[in-house]
Amino acid sequence: MANESEAAKKFYKKLEEAVTEVRTETRDALLLEPNVDDILGQDAVDEMASRVGAKSALDLKQNVLGKGPISDGDELELPEDSLGPPKGSRFWCGLFQGWPVVVEMSSYTPAEDSTDVSAKDLLQIRRMVGQLAHPERTSDHVLRCAGFIQYRYEEHIGLVFHLENGCDIASPPVMLHDLYKASSNKLGNTTMSKNIKVHLGLRFRIARNLAVALEGLHRVGWVHKDIQSKNVVLFHAKMSEMMDPDKCIAGLGNLYLFGFESSRPDDAETDLSADYSLKNNAYRHPHRWGKPSVKFTKAHDIYSLGIVFLELAYWRSIFELKFRNLKDTGRCEPGDLKREVIKAAQEDIPFVTGMSFARIIKTCLEFDEISAGMSEYEAYELFEKEIVDVLKNLVSAKV
């Protein structure tokens, strides 16, 4: 009887895994295959999406593509005694309606003869809030957005995100690149040693979480456009959450992706404005340096992800590494820097993190060439198979 019971459990587990795989592949095909509506008919697509739990994501994708009503994001009135003015800081934590929140602030160019956001920018913000309003629409590593606020006289706008209850809102959040340099003994209210050591397994987990976050955005037709370590943010954990060293980095946990100021649907009009800041361009695909000449694509997001993975491999900022093209800033050539980074992924990183993570970095950096000619669904499957799934295996191995 015991053997029969064990066999039944194994059979059930395999059946459950098979059903989950079919549901996932069906969801991804409905979201990413072109002309699926024309092939199957809208009623059949809606019915299938409902059966596999993808109706919410499919509705969002239709909105992103402009085929459905745009969900109006809530413009919130936040009482000053709960949050107050941001006073120039990028992040500000507090309570809103009894729930811990963080506000990410960014400046905006006001409309002509006004202190308000322009109608075009406001529409984009409302679409973004609609995109980020429900966690199932993206991933667990992109915070749920509650709404937005305008500081009209200071020309700032903020996205308001719900935080998990395990976060300590009394301490300011910490950006990933701050952990690399750790130039002082304190980050926020947490005392840290000058050199913060993070074991390889935890770095793999950070990489996995970022890949899953980006996968969730891309699945519903959204691009981030500013993947870099300053936009990877960790919140201080409450004392009850700090007991497991595998989940915390010096008392920090709850990693999330921020920096949605430039985010937009991937079919929207692209921004070709110039940015010659090496601090930003080092994370960008060579085609997007300076004044870009090509439309931003999902592959450009994945390239930036590869640069962050490179930093995780060395646990150092890209600017602290010995890349010749980042030393002579007056002659930095984007194509040459890309070749240097790929060479490091081939020749050096395998001895630091192993072959699997080195291949992931190289795949990210060459994703535009590898996926050339693929459909959106095929490129998504490639990203999932060669990057997300491999990272999940590395995390499961508990190295």
Question: CA 142, CA 25: separation in Å to the nearest integer?
Answer: 22
Helices (H), 220-287: 278-281
Is 71 part of a structural domain of the chain? no
Residue numbers of the domain that contains 192: 174-266+274-396
Is 124 part of a structural domain of the chain? yes
Residue 82: its pLDDT value, please?
57
Same domain, 178 and 129: no
Backbone φ, ψ for residue 358 (5° rounding)? -60, -40
Cβ-contact 227, 301 below 8 angstroms: yes
When divided into structural domains, the chain yields a total of 3
pLDDT tens digits for 85-137?
A: 455 678 888 877 777 888 888 877 777 777 777 777 777 777 777 666 655 54
pLDDT tens digits for 173-185?
A: 888 988 887 544 4
Mean pLDDT estimate for the chain:
77
Higher pLDDT, 11 or 89: 89
Q: For position 183, which CATH number holds?
A: 1.10.510.10
Same domain, 46 and 98: no
Cβ-contact 268, 221 below 8 angstroms: no
Among candidate residues 127, 162, 197, the one where a domain is terminated: 162
Same domain, 150 and 221: no
Same domain, 220 and 120: no
Cβ-contact 183, 112 below 8 angstroms: no
Same domain, 138 and 20: no
pTM: 0.80
Higher pLDDT, 197 or 159: 159
Residues forming beta bridges with residue 255, ordered by sequence position = 234
Q: Which segments of 143-270 are extended strands (E)?
A: 145-151, 156-162, 174-175, 186-187, 190-191, 222-223, 232-236, 252-257, 264-265
Is 167 part of a structural domain of the chain? no
Same domain, 253 and 307: yes
pLDDT tens digits for 261-304?
A: 888 877 666 666 777 788 888 999 999 988 888 889 999 999 99
Is 328 part of a structural domain of the chain? yes
Same domain, 141 and 198: no
Same domain, 235 and 326: yes
